[in-house]
Amino acid sequence: MSDASTFPKPRFLSVVIGLIGLGLARMGLTLVGAGGSLYYLLAGLTLLVTAVLLFRGDRRGAQLYGIFLILTYLWSFYEVGLDAWALMPRVAMFTVLGLWFVLPRVRRGLHQSEPIPLFQLRETQATLGGFAVFIIALFIANGGYEVGTPSAAGTGQVFNDSGDWMHYGATKRGTRFAPSDQINVDNVDQLEIAWQTRTRVPGEFKGTPIQVGDGLYLCTGRNIILSLDPDTGEERWRFDPELQSARIGFWDTCRGVTYYRSPPQRPSLECPERILTATTDARLIAVNKANGQPCADFGENGEISLLTGMGEVKPGYYFVTSPPTISNGVLVLGGWVMDNQETEEPSGVVRGFNPITGDLVWAWDMGRQERLGLPPEGESYTRGTPNVWSLTSTDEELGLVYVPTGNATPDYFGGHRSEAMERYASSVVALDSATGRPRWHFQTTHHDIWDYDVPSQPTLADIPINGEIRKAVIVPTKRAQIFVLDRETGEPLTEVAELPVPQTDIPEESTVPTQPFSVGMPRFDHEMLREADMWGITPFDQASCRIQFARMRYEGPLTPPTTGYGTLYYPGVAGGMNWGSVAVDERNHLMVVNSLHNPSVVRLIPRTDITESTTYGIGGTQTGTPYAVFSFFFLSPVFAPCLRPPYGELAVVDLANQEILWRRPLGTTTDMGPLGIPSRLPLPMGMFYSAGSIVTGGGLIFNAGVTDSQVRAIDVFNGEEVWNAQLPAASTATPMSYVSPETGKQYVLVTVPDGGGILSLESQVDDSVDEPEVEGGYIFAYALPD
C-alpha cells in the first residue's frame, strides 16, 4: 500500500483560490466603501483563509470552502430567488471550482495520514453534482411564462382588407398588421425562401419596403431607391440620388419610401404615380413609380432642398431618415438634428409640402407658430427647437397627422431652454394636415433632460374601452411607458398619473416635481433597480457593476443627470421602446410590444474640467451650456451588460382589458459574448434587438431584429416560437408582408445589412476613394411551397 503522505498538497488550487480571494476582497472593500453589499469582502477574506489552509494541506480548507459555497447559495437565493440567470454569476464559478475538490489527487493531498472513506468521496460528489443539477433545472424552469386568454378575440375591424403593404407601417395608421391568413400557425413550419436578392449597396440597410400593386419599392443606405418584382425579386429600376452627406452619424440611413398617386382633380402628366424619399443630405426627391426617373414637375428636376429657411447648417447637423406621411394631399415631413453638440442647432420645424409640385404648403415652427410660410430674408426657423426624426401617422377622416417629438438640443441640459423649446418637447402632437397648426398635444416627459424623445411611430387603433369602441392613438416611449390617448382630443383613454420624481442637484438646472406615468397600461421596465439586479459573467465583473451602481446617482425612474460618477439612466438611450414601435392585430385587439432593458451611464462634465483627452462616449460637447456630457451603455469591464437578463422581451397586450396576455424573453446569446466575442451558445437569455415586429391575420408575429440573426414566427396567442430561419446577420429593419396580385401568394419580406456599415477611416474623410464592388444588403422573401 502506498503512503498517503507522498501525495502533494493542493498548492496550485490554493494559489487559484487565493488570487480569487484577493481580487474579491479588494473589490469588496471598494464596494463597502461605496455603501454596497458586504458579501464580496467577506467572500474574499474567506477564500484567502481557505487558500492558506489548502497550501498547508489542511483538510479544514476544503471544509471551509464547502461552508462558503453553501452560504453563497443561501445569500444568492436571498438576493434573487430562483432566477437562474441572476444566480449564474453568483454561484457558477464557485460551483465549478468546488468540483476541483472532488479530484482524487486533491482529496488525497488533504488526507495525508489516512485513506479517504469511499462514502465521504461519493457524498461530496453527490453534493456538488446536486448543485449543478439544481442550477440546470432552474434554467429549464425559468423558460416558462404565463399565458392569458384574449378578452375580445375576433371582434375587431380590419382596415386593410386588400392585404397590400402600401405604407411604412402597412397603412397610414401604422399598425404593422397584414390581414392575410394564408401563412398561419398550422403551416408556417413549411415556410421557405421563395427568392432572395442583393442590393449592391454597402453599409446600413434599415429600410422596410412597401408594396404597391405589382411592385416593391424600398430604399437602401444612401437613399438609393429600388423597384423589384414582388414574385421574383428581379430589379426593375434603381435611382441613386448621389448623396453629398457628411459621412458622420446616420449619414447612410434610410428607413423607407412614400407612395403617392395624384388625384383626378390634380393630375400629374409627368408622374401620375410617384415614389418619394427624404435624404440625409436634406433633399426631398420624387421619382416616377414606373421607371425611377425624377419627376420633372416636382421642384427642380424632381427634388427640393430642405435647407431653405434653416439658416446655418453645419455638415451632418440636419438630415432626414424616415419616410414622410401624406395626409389629405399634403406631404408632412420632420427631420433629425445632431444630438448633444450645441444649443443653437438647426430648427426642429415640421413642414407640409405639395407632393406634386414640391411647393411649401405650411411650416410648423414651434417658436413662431403664427407664421405659416418661410421666414423673412435673413431670418431662419427657430433654432434649437425639438425635432421630429421618427415616423408619423395620420387619420385622414379627422384631418390629423400625429408627430412624435424629441427634446430641445442638447439632450442632457435644459437650463437655457425657452418656453417654445419646452412646450411641445417629448410629446405626441396632433397637427391639422391642412394648416399644420396643433389641435392638441400630450407631453410624455416634462423638461426632458434624459433624451427621452418619443421615438416610435404613433399607432392608430379602434379599441373597446369600458364597452365602447374608442378611436385611440397608442404612443410607445423610450421610458417603456405606453400612453393610450383619444386621437381626436388627446384625452388619456387609460389612466395617467403625475407622480413625484427625483430632483436635480445641478445649480444651473431645474426639474419639475412630477412626471406622467401610464398607470392604466402595463409597464415594460423594472420599477426600481437594486444593487442585487447587477449582473456580470463572473463574480468579478458583477462586483465591478455593483461598485458602479453604488457610486452613481440612482433614485428610480427619471433620476436627473449629475456630475462625478454620473447617473444611472434606465431605461437607457435606446429605450424601452424605439422606432420599431408596436404592432396591432386589428381583428383581435392585441398589441405586440418589443421592449429593451439596456441602462446607460450619463455623466455631466463641467466645462472647466474638459481637456483634450476628455471622452464623451456617445454623448457630446453640449456647447453653449455649462456642461459637456459622457453617455454610454452600462457595461462591465468585459463588456457584459451590468443589468441581469433579459435584455430583449416580446409581449402581447390585450387592448380590450389593458392586461398582458403573455411576456417572454426573445433571442439567444449565439452572436454575443464577453469582449464582443460571439459565444456560439444558443442560451435563451433574451437579447438586444433593433426595429420592430409585424403581426398577421394568420395569428403570427414575425421578427428578425434580434442580435442572434434569426427570423422568427411566434404564435400571437401564446408566445410559442413556431418557426425560425438563420440569417447572415441581424436585420435592422421591421419586416413586412404582402399578397402578390399576380400569383395570390403571401410573402414575408426581411431585409438584412451586409455588415459594411462602418467604412474605413480613409473613405470617411476622402470621398475620392473608390469603394470596391460590393454585393450589399440582402432581401429575403419567404413563402409557402407551391
Tell me which residues are annotated as active site: 451
Name 433's Cβ contacts closer than 8 Å, sequence gap at least 6: 327, 328, 330, 332, 352, 394, 396, 399, 400, 401
Q: Which of 594, 579, 707, 596 is nearest to 643 (CA)?
A: 596
Name 539's Cβ contacts closer than 8 Å, sequence gap at least 6: 24, 40, 43, 89, 90, 93, 94
- Are β-strands 582-585 and 627-633 bridged in parallel, bridged antiparallel, or unpaired? unpaired
Dig out the grid coordinates for 59 from the structure: 483538510
**3-class DSSP state of 531:** helix
CB 144 within 8 A of CB 662: no
Dig out the grid coordinates for 417 from the structure: 431652454
| Stated length of the chain | 786
Q: How many CB atoms lie within 10 A of CB 84?
A: 18
CB 259 within 8 A of CB 331: no
- Are β-strands 177-178 and 694-696 bridged in parallel, bridged antiparallel, or unpaired? parallel
* 231-to-191, 414, 447, 544, 782 alpha-carbon distances in Å: 15, 52, 50, 54, 11
Name 645's Cβ contacts closer than 8 Å, sequence gap at least 6: 85, 86, 535, 665, 685, 686
Separation CA 293–CA 302 (nearest Å): 8
What kind and span of H or E run contains 194? strand 192-198
What kind and span of H or E run contains 24? helix 11-33
Dig out the grid coordinates for 381 from the structure: 426657423
Separation CA 524–CA 618 (nearest Å): 24
First vs last Cα of the chain: how many Å apart? 76
Which string of DSSP letters, residue by residue, matches 398-465? TTEEEEE--PPSSSS--TT--HHHHHTTTEEEEEETTT--EEEEEESSSS--S-----SPPEEEEEEE
Amino acid at 696: T
* 247-to-204, 320, 323, 588, 759 alpha-carbon distances in Å: 12, 14, 20, 45, 9
CB 779 within 8 A of CB 197: yes
Separation CA 244–CA 226 (nearest Å): 19
Residue 465: phi, psi to the nearest 5? -130, 120
**3-class DSSP state of 516:** strand
Name 5's Cβ contacts closer than 8 Å, sequence gap at least 6: 112, 113
3-state secondary structure 707-720: CCCEEEEEECCCCC
Which string of DSSP letters, residue by residue, matches 41-95? HHHHHHHHHHHHHHHTT-THHHHHHHHHHHHHHHHHHHHHTT-HHHHHHHHHHHH
- Which residues partner with 228 through β-bridges? 216, 235
Place of cell 404613433: 458
Separation CA 755–CA 198 (nearest Å): 13
> What is the b/e burial string over 304-328, where b = at least 16 CB atoms within 10 angstroms of the residue's CB?
bebeebbeebeebbbbbbbbbbbbe
Place of cell 414575408: 748
